[in-house]
Amino acid sequence: MRRSSDLFEAYKDFKYLLNKGYRKKVALNFVANHYKLTLRQRHFLARCVFSDFEIEGRKRKLVESSFLRDKALGIDGFNVLITFESLIEGKAILCEDGLLRDLKYQRGYRMSGETKGIIETIVSFLSTLKPREVVFLYDMGVSRSGEIAGLTMDLIKKYGLKGRALTVKSPDYELRSFEVVCTSDIGIISKISYVFDLPKALGAFLGMRPKRFMELFDKQSLDKF
């Protein structure tokens, strides 16, 4: 594969610094300034690259669908929704730590005519995994979060799941009380025992193939992504 030499060299240097224990922000700023990376390239490295120590620890926490049976599942509502939408749009990346993420610079969530159908696809899939309970947590500070929580609750009932959909002030804090959490947020993952990559599992079930991290080092691929 032909790679953008500057971006790949930046990746190698960034990875080296992370493995040496440098703070991510410091290491990224140094490398990005040195190689004169674009904002998109910086964001790509920030979202997808981790030290080997972090990757090993995170992968130990990742569980498969079968693990969820009879478990209470906490769901980082907007994180899962945005990531799965990105996968549908062909804009999701399978990162170094094995988790699916998007490259959107999206603040909050933009509800659309597709939102209800996307949530229904998520809830329908969850119903096949037989969890004991599902709890969707949406950030109440996001526009129309109450409406989205209401839609989610209606669908939870429709598919016969035991669970709730709530708006809360701090989903990050609330999710720490669950044994298994659906999120790709590294701040949350560092505080929990197990993580289930719901968008990735659902995508695999539907036959969707995300871009893999290493596929985007071709500059044209990243620019088009």
| Per-residue pLDDT band at 219 (split at 50, 70, 90) | low
- The pLDDT value recorded for residue 4 is 56
Q: What is the reported pLDDT for 2?
A: 41
Is residue 7 over pLDDT 70?
yes
Angle at 61 between CA 177 and CA 170, to 5 degrees: 30
pLDDT band at 220 (very low <50, low <70, confident <90, very high): low
Residue 12 has pLDDT above 70, yes or no: yes
36-65: average pLDDT: 95
Which tops the pLDDT comparison, 28 or 215? Answer: 28
Kindly report the pTM of this predicted structure: 0.92
- What's the pLDDT at 62? 97
Residue recorded with tokens 């989205």: 148
Task: Quote the percentage of the chain above a pLDDT of 90.
Answer: 86
Determine the pLDDT at residue 138. 97
Per residue in 198-207, pLDDT (tens digit) is 999 999 999 9
Q: Residue 28: its pLDDT value, please?
A: 98
Average pLDDT, the chain: 93
CA distance 208 to 225: 16
62-205 folds as: Rossmann fold (3.40.50)
Identify the helix (H) or strand (E) that includes residue 182. Answer: strand 180-182
Q: What is the mean pLDDT of residues 215-221?
A: 75
Residues 58-113 pLDDT 10s: 999 999 999 999 999 999 999 999 999 999 999 899 999 999 999 876 778 889 99
pLDDT at 1: 40
The dihedral region occupied by 112, where left means phi > 0, alpha psi between -120 and 50, and beta the remainder, is beta
> Taking residues 164-176, what's their average pLDDT?
96
Q: Domain ranges in the chain?
A: 5-59+215-224, 62-205
Token pair recorded at residue 172: 């990050």
Joined together, the tokens standing for residue 196 give 């289930």
Span 121-130, mean pLDDT?
A: 98
